[in-house]
Amino acid sequence: MKVPLLDLAAQAKSVEADVKKAVLAVLDSQRYVLGPEVEALEGEIAAYCGAKYGVAVRNGSDALVMSLMALGIGPGDEVIVPTFTFFATAGSVARVGAKPVMVDVLPDTFNIDPDATAAAVTARTKAIIPVHLYGQCADMDRLMAIASRHGLAVIEDAAQAIGAKRHDRGVASYGTLATLSFYPTKNLSAVGEGGMILTNDGELAARLRCFRNHGQTGTYEHAWIGGNFRLDGIQGAALRVKLRKLPDWNEGRRKNAERYDAGLKDTDVVTPVAEACSYHVYHQYTIRSPRRDALREHLKAAEIDTGVYYPLPLHLQPCFAYLGYQQGAMPVAERLSTEVLSLPIYPEMSREQQDHVIETIRSFSRAS
């Protein structure tokens, strides 16, 4: 039985008629860039996430770059990021000319280590970018305390965690800013590229809107050097349709996670830890196995697709060699990169498909 890592066709089918109608309406209106659909989307997503303002942008990577620009972060500044994340978290810091300072993650939640974060603060540190990896909120209680002690901005990289909560509070409402991605593989996806920045600070929201449009403050008058980070109207329209389904989709992912937790008990793989205070939205369901590559082959032979996020921590990436990190500098992330394996968890997955994944892992476990 084939089990893809993600089945975009199944998702598209479940919203097809409404998405087509909404997209065609934008084409008929010629509101191709920003416009009323994007504006409505900003309000709806901010409300859903528990933040006051939303500023829609082209993608999640530019959401990070624009956040840093709007906070005035650039050359000479340091920004603390986890080393175990998608490239854009650190790439965005380098793109604005600042220095990414990488720290290790926690072995149970895979999220940034607050002690390592506190230890990495210097006089040049301007911000922390915690990532809510795989859909679970980082330890924002401790991270916000560190940030306030040192007067640092916090940009939550919530690209994988829309709808997640901690202590019943939405991720993307803790930090100075939070960024989202609507890339097609994310829990809420556009019909192309998309992203958003959320904040509770009205002044900052207004500045972000300027930065999105080349820092323009009056007619061809520019107070800042921003860029063109605007979102397309059809993305706004399609996202509004899909947003109505997101709570159910996230619940579907959580149910699948529960079935995996039960089905993979007493095997030699380590299932992911969800903190008691956390509403995890399982962008990925990531297990650990010291025999990860063999297990992955075994699953592939049974027509089950899996993912490895991420096979090389950022401190060891060739493009960051200039930062001078050595192998062994971040032992948790380095070990995770050899052990993590993400299983199919998409909400449209059938019971039979999931049982097939569970049984295939159990047979691998028995054979050892």
Ligand X SMILES: *Cc1c(COP(=O)(O)O)cnc(C)c1O
Binding site for ligand X (CB under 6 A): 59-61, 85-86, 88-89, 131, 157, 159-160, 181, 183, 195
Closest separation between CB of residue 305 and ligand X, Å?
18
* 160 or 256: CB nearest ligand X: 160
Which residue in the shown chain puts its C-beta closest to ligand X? Answer: 60
* 93 or 316: CB nearest ligand X: 93
What CA–CA distance (Å, rounded) separates 28 from 195? 24
What CA–CA distance (Å, rounded) separates 130 from 233? 30
Closest separation between CB of residue 294 and ligand X, Å?
27
Closest separation between CB of residue 30 and ligand X, Å?
26
* 61 or 117: CB nearest ligand X: 61
Closest separation between CB of residue 160 and ligand X, Å?
5
* 129 or 153: CB nearest ligand X: 129
Closest separation between CB of residue 365 and ligand X, Å?
29
- 128 CA to centre of own chain: 15
- Cα–Cα distances (Å) from 38 to 160, 181, 283, 287, in that order, read 21, 15, 24, 37
Closest separation between CB of residue 328 and ligand X, Å?
24
* 51 or 64: CB nearest ligand X: 64
- β-pair partners for 199: 53
* 239 or 264: CB nearest ligand X: 239
* 157 or 295: CB nearest ligand X: 157
What CA–CA distance (Å, rounded) separates 89 from 10? 30
- Cα–Cα distances (Å) from 151 to 91, 103, 127, 177, in that order, read 23, 19, 9, 15
Specify burial of residue 205 (Cβ count, 10 A radius: 0-12, 13-18, 19+).
Answer: buried
* 186 or 288: CB nearest ligand X: 186
Closest separation between CB of residue 181 and ligand X, Å?
3
Cis geometry, peptide bond prior to residue 48 (ω within 30 degrees of 0): no
- Are 279 and 158 spatial neighbours (Cβ–Cβ below 8 Å)? no
Q: What is the 3-state secondary structure (H, E, C) of 18-55?
A: HHHHHHHHHHHHCCCECCHHHHHHHHHHHHHHCCCEEE
DSSP 8-class letter at 236? H
Q: How does DSSP assign 292-347, residue by residue?
A: HHHHHHHHHHTTB--B-S-SS-GGG-GGGGGG---TTSSHHHHHHHHHEEEEP--T
Closest separation between CB of residue 66 and ligand X, Å?
12
